[in-house]
């Protein structure tokens, strides 16, 4: 009998099991009869995750004050967990450290920074001679301005080194905008309770953005799914916001490039174990370039919807890799097949205020491809204007045999949004929506049918550089 079989693996140590992905993974282990221990990597749970955390699902919950908490290590040794899993973004360094101390499979804490610090990610790719972006890290405004002048190429992008959800990302076209962006970001506490004492400055590129999810065991990587991602620009947002994601087949010329590149990126940032989530820009020249990578599950996903589309998900694949490593490795090169086409549509609030009406449960189920609503606000809730991932009003899963039906239903959702039929709030403060697909502002009121046009998404990168 295999030593890695589920029969011998009964106790799991999950670090920062927050968000819908954390809940899905937690329930998957519970349903299989596992005992769960939760590790909270910081005394304060990041604000976006507080409501999603369910401590009652765990036998024990340890809170780490610092990464040298020997008392917790000693307690965990007594618990004898079979595995340590990094679940959400803040968990990565702690999970690496715990796995090493407990002598369990994991990634090296010596290279944790490559998986959290966006500047270090880029530098790791340069050392591996992979396409990356021109970048620098700065801790004072004058240095940032000097770099911008020496590069002499606009627009530029400023962002925190280790935040998430597009928080603090700013597109800058002038020195004045750069100065304003620097002052907005520098020394602020980000969503993960870290102080932005350094800022990343990058050139910007244009192309089509993709998401590539994977699970790794012993340095071998399995691609779980790939998504074509579109973003849009809105007035009042410092960068583009999430619009929609379309699940794409495993096979294809673009997919082949993405898979080859992402597997090399995973090696470059030293991911040998666990889930990973990569955001990649495919440039007009057909060159994949990393936006960023995280050594954890994709956030915000609804595992059941992905299972309905391809029979498995990022969550279930990670579960299989943890509970039967040997079998997982024999199936490492198996590819997913699309049974139903899937699209995720992110709800965009054009204004902020108190929600007075929510028609999502009434209107959305009338769409032929409707599958699931994930998190929409309740009447009486304050809803912010959508300016990044953290402020979106929710998201919808559409599933259908016909991709054209997904696009048609997506357009209907945006029409309902324009007509304020989905979410209605008291405020009249609003912003306009424009597509980043063609580097031109899209007039949404004309309802142009651009299904046959090749969509191109803008992001926070520029011409790739190999190094």
Question: Cα 166 to the chain's mean position, in Å?
Answer: 9
For residues 142 and 193, membership in a common domain is answered with yes
What CATH number has the domain bearing residue 129? 3.30.1490.20
Which pLDDT does position 456 carry in this prediction? 31
Which pLDDT does position 351 carry in this prediction? 79
**How far apart are the C-alpha atoms of 168 and 84, rounded to whole Å?**
31
pLDDT tens, residue by residue, 151-181: 999 999 999 988 766 677 899 999 999 999 9
pLDDT tens, residue by residue, 43-65: 889 887 888 899 999 999 999 88
Residue 467 lies in a domain: no
- Contact yes or no for 157/170 (Cβ under 8 A): yes
For residues 231 and 322, membership in a common domain is answered with yes
Q: Which two tokens stand for residue 335?
A: 């590819």
For residues 15 and 122, membership in a common domain is answered with no
Residue 81 lies in a domain: yes
Which pLDDT does position 459 carry in this prediction? 32
User: 10 Å Cβ neighbour count for 207?
Assistant: 21
Which is nearest to 256 in space by CA: 212, 318, 215?
Answer: 212
For residues 133 and 174, membership in a common domain is answered with yes
What CATH number has the domain bearing residue 22? 3.40.50.720
- Contact yes or no for 312/303 (Cβ under 8 A): no
Q: Mapping DSSP to helix (H, G, I), strand (E, B) and coil, where does residue 160 land?
A: strand
Which residue, of 50, 85, 106, is where some domain finishes?
106
Sheet containing strand 382-383, strands side by side: 382-383, 353-358, 423-425
For residues 326 and 341, membership in a common domain is answered with yes
Which residues in the chain come in under a pLDDT of 70?
Answer: 1-9, 66-68, 164-166, 234-240, 388-389, 427-467
List C-alpha distances in Å: 230 to 152, 179, 245, 454.
28, 28, 6, 11
The pTM assigned to this predicted structure is: 0.85
Which pLDDT does position 191 carry in this prediction? 74
For residues 346 and 438, membership in a common domain is answered with yes
Which pLDDT does position 328 carry in this prediction? 97
Q: Mapping DSSP to helix (H, G, I), strand (E, B) and coil, where does residue 177 land?
A: helix
For the CA atoms of the chain, what is the radius of gyration?
22
**How far apart are the C-alpha atoms of 219 and 226, rounded to whole Å?**
20
E-assigned strands of 5-127? 11-15, 35-40, 60-63, 83-86
What CATH number has the domain bearing residue 376? 3.30.470.20
Which pLDDT does position 236 carry in this prediction? 52
For residues 199 and 209, membership in a common domain is answered with no
For residues 229 and 348, membership in a common domain is answered with yes
Count of domains forming the chain:
3
For residues 199 and 211, membership in a common domain is answered with no
Residue 396 lies in a domain: yes
Residue where the block lists tokens 């699931």: 372
Residue numbers of the domain that contains 60: 6-106
Which pLDDT does position 428 carry in this prediction? 45
């Amino acid at each position: 009998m295999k030593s890695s079989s589920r029969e011998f693996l009964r106790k799991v140590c999950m670090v920062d099991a927050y968000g819908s992905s954390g809940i899905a993974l937690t329930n998957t282990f519970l349903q299989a009869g596992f005992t769960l221990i939760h590790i909270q990597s910081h005394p304060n749970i990041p604000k976006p995750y507080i409501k999603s955390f369910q401590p009652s699902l765990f036998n024990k919950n340890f809170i780490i004050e610092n990464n040298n908490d020997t008392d917790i290590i000693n307690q965990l040794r007594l618990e004898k967990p079979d595995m340590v899993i990094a679940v959400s973004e803040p968990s990565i360094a702690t999970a690496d450290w715990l796995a090493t101390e407990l002598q369990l499979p994991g990634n090296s804490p010596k290279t944790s920074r490559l998986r959290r610090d966006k500047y270090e990610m880029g530098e790791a790719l340069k050392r591996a001679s992979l396409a990356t972006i021109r970048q620098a890290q700065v801790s004072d405004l004058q240095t940032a301005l000097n770099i911008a002048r020496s590069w002499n190429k606009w627009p530029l992008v400023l962002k925190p080194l280790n935040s998430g959800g597009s928080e603090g990302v700013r597109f800058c076209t002038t020195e004045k905008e750069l100065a304003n962006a620097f002052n907005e970001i520098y020394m602020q506490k980000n969503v993960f309770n870290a102080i932005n004492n350094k800022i990343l400055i990058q050139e910007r590129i244009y192309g089509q953005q993709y998401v590539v999810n994977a699970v790794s065991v012993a340095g071998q990587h399995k691609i779980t799914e790939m998504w074509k991602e579109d973003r849009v620009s809105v007035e009042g947002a410092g960068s583009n916001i999430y619009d929609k994601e379309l699940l794409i087949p495993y096979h294809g010329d673009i997919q082949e490039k993405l898979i080859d590149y992402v597997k090399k990126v995973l090696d470059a940032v030293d991911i040998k174990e666990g889930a990973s989530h990569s955001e990649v820009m495919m440039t007009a020249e057909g060159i994949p370039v990393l936006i960023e990578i995280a050594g954890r599950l994709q956030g915000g996903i609804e595992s059941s919807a992905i299972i309905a589309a391809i029979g498995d998900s990022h969550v279930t694949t990670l579960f299989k890799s943890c509970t039967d490593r040997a079998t997982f490795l024999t199936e490492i090169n198996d590819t997913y097949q699309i049974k139903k086409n899937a699209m995720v549509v992110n709800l965009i609030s054009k204004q902020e205020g108190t929600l007075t009406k929510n028609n999502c449960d009434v209107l959305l189920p009338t769409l032929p491809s409707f599958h699931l609503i994930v998190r929409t606000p309740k009447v009486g809730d304050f809803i912010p204007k959508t300016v990044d991932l953290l402020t979106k009003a929710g998201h919808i899963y559409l599933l259908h045999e016909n991709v054209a039906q997904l696009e048609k239903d997506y357009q209907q959702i945006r029409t309902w949004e324009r007509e304020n039929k989905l979410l209605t709030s008291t405020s009249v403060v609003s912003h306009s929506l424009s597509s980043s697909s063609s580097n031109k502002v899209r007039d949404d009121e004309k309802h142009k049918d651009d299904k046959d046009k090749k969509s191109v998404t803008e992001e926070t990168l520029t011409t790739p550089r190999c190094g």
